[in-house]
């Protein structure tokens, strides 16, 4: 038997009028999950200069079903660069929304000409003199000493590229280019790019957004929340928990 208090909870009244809320057992959300970027290497004496780390993988989607409950959010770290020859830079770590979505990290730059790779793109060695390659990006392989492109998303309301590969070094140590959060030195925080030679990769990020009107009767906590247009956006720059109740 349904009590009057339950009816009141389910169907809030305004000025004596019964209002049916748009409350569903599942929140449908969009997401961006960006893995951490790999660190750069320092090359090998008398062989090549340093190579760049790879950007982490970017995973996006528009229909993530989230029933009421708690969801662990993991934000991957960037990998450490190394100045020790001929060691490779360290890989980053993965980012995830519970066990629902995982974006793997980028590998570190190698000690012999080749930048880091990720699960989607393999770095191409730059075999010209003492040059070394850039790292692969979330959106493409490297081009010579230039890091690969990342993936652009407007989930926060403004377009931003993430997961770019780190730059490598051409003959004489001249650096290539890096875009979309990748670095010629240390990569940008929370954009999942690869680091340049000897430099650290960038940490990842997890971003979840939903139509504000769909959640007007819900309590959703976790991350840094903001509003853009008709959406509420929760950004996790570090590991945390999303709670829907």
pLDDT digits (tens, 9 = 90+) for 77-106: 999 999 999 999 999 999 999 999 999 999
16: pLDDT strictly greater than 70:
no
Supply the Cα-derived Rg of the chain in whole angstroms: 22
Q: Both tokens of residue 160?
A: 């931003």
CB contact at 8 A, 77 and 63? no
In this prediction, residue 172 carries a pLDDT of 85
Mean pLDDT of 214-222: 93
- DSSP state letters, 123-181: -----STT--PPPP-SSS--BTTBPPP-EEE-TTSS-EEE-PPPP-B-GGG-B----TT
The terminus-to-terminus CA distance of the chain in angstroms comes to 23
221: pLDDT strictly greater than 50:
yes
- Residues 6 or more apart whose CB falls under 8 angstroms from that of 212 comprise 227, 230, 231, 232
Mean pLDDT of 186-206: 98
9: pLDDT strictly greater than 60:
no
pLDDT digits (tens, 9 = 90+) for 117-165: 999 999 999 999 999 999 999 999 999 999 999 999 999 999 999 999 9
pLDDT band at residue 25 under the 50/70/90 scheme: low
15: pLDDT strictly greater than 70:
no
């Amino acid at each position: 038997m349904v009590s009057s208090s339950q009816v009141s909870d389910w169907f809030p009244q305004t000025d004596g009028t019964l209002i049916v809320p748009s409350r569903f057992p599942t929140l449908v959300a969009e997401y961006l999950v960006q893995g951490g970027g790999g660190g750069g290497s320092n090359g090998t004496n008398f062989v090549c200069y340093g190579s760049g780390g790879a950007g982490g993988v970017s995973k996006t989607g528009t229909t993530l079903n989230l029933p009421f409950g708690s969801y662990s959010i993991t934000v991957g770290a960037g990998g450490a660069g190394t100045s020790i020859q001929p060691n490779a830079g360290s890989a980053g770590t993965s980012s995830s929304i519970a066990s629902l979505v995982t974006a793997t990290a980028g590998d570190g730059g190698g000690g012999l000409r080749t930048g880091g790779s990720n699960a989607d793109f393999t770095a191409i060695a730059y075999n010209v003199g003492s040059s070394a390659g850039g790292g692969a990006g979330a959106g493409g392989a490297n081009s010579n000493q230039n890091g690969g492109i990342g993936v652009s998303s407007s989930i926060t309301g403004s377009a931003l590229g993430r997961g770019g590969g780190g730059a490598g070094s051409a003959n004489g140590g001249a650096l290539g280019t890096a875009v979309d959060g990748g670095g010629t030195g240390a990569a940008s925080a929370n954009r999942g790019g690869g680091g340049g030679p000897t430099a650290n990769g960038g940490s990842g990020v997890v971003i979840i957004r939903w139509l504000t009107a769909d959640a007007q009767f819900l309590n959703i906590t976790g991350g840094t929340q903001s509003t853009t247009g008709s959406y509420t956006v929760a950004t996790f720059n570090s590991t945390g928990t999303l709670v829907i109740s």
